[in-house]
Structure 1
């Protein structure tokens, strides 16, 4: 019997496997010994290129099928943020909805859900700022990297790894 891969988040949205990594990062961050600290997950450039192509393919479905038939705003937001972060492109909260082809208010609602699940973080650029910059949390980056790894293994046809 093969062991099921651990999921980064449980079905209720609570952190799963990657909560251990985040906890370890928090514990070692203040230790003052860089050699013992775990590196936080980083955006992977090859993964971002794959996701950029994947996002484009998802958008092109609407050329063949009725607009609005396919909808997965939370996933599209995570994909868009991963790609944007890989390009060093800041994403303001008001731009999230339009970036994933949903109304701005819907984008803000989905951001609230993703923030409650600790997948995105809002950061005000300065005290006078009226709008927050949105970024993926370390747990979200770890989850996306894990998914990308499994996807690329599946696509490559490697039965040992995918």
Structure 2
């Protein structure tokens, strides 16, 4: 899928909670990464592998932390064999989701970055997740059920 403007773009901007809520977006991305880790650990299977999404989450988290990501680091975040992750990175570059950039300090390293449009779309995804999280946590029944289960 090529990254290009569509009619859905207008809808994405209307669903955003507040521009500039970087801390909340970062916390949501981190929670998503944690949930994926625990899901894989608990379910003990590799049926739910999604290397592109894992790379996107990692790059997005590092973007908001102000950290750079090498190709090797991005491949490790994908949690698949390196060759598979590298192919995925190449597909993401071709589709316009990420860019590669030589490391100015060490020319042997190549950094990968989300494109501006990819960041905006990931912001929209995190904003929607935040909105849904607020809706879910404002419902008293599941919280009461969880509290009752934790007392057992």
Which range, TM-score by smaller chain?
0.7 to 0.9
Q: Secondary structure at the match of 1:68?
A: coil
Q: Equivalent residue for 1:16?
A: 5
Q: Equivalent residue for 1:46?
A: 24
Q: Equivalent residue for 1:95?
A: 73
Alignment: residue pair count: 127
Greater share of residues in helix: 2
Gaps of 5+ in 2: 11-18, 137-152
* TM-aligned CA deviation for residue 17 of structure 1: 4.1
Over aligned residues, Cα RMSD in angstroms? 2.6
Q: Equivalent residue for 1:58?
A: 36
Once residues 87 and 56 of structure 1 are traced to their aligned partners in structure 2, the CA distance between those partners, rounded to angstroms, is: 16
TM-score with structure 2 setting the length:
0.72
TM-score with structure 1 setting the length:
0.68
In the TM superposition, structure 1's runs of 4+ consecutive aligned residues that sit over 6 Å from their partners are none
Once residues 106 and 31 of structure 2 are traced to their aligned partners in structure 1, the CA distance between those partners, rounded to angstroms, is: 37
Once residues 127 and 88 of structure 1 are traced to their aligned partners in structure 2, the CA distance between those partners, rounded to angstroms, is: 17
Q: Does 1:83 align with 2:72?
A: no
Q: Secondary structure at the match of 2:32?
A: helix
**Alignment of structure 1 residues 1-162 onto 2, 5 Å:** 12-17=1-6, 44-126=22-104, 129-157=107-135
Gaps of 5+ in 1: 1-11, 22-40
Once residues 99 and 142 of structure 1 are traced to their aligned partners in structure 2, the CA distance between those partners, rounded to angstroms, is: 21
Higher relative contact order (CA 8 A, sep 6+): 2
Shift of the 72–14 alpha-carbon distance from structure 1 to 2, 3 Å rule, reads same
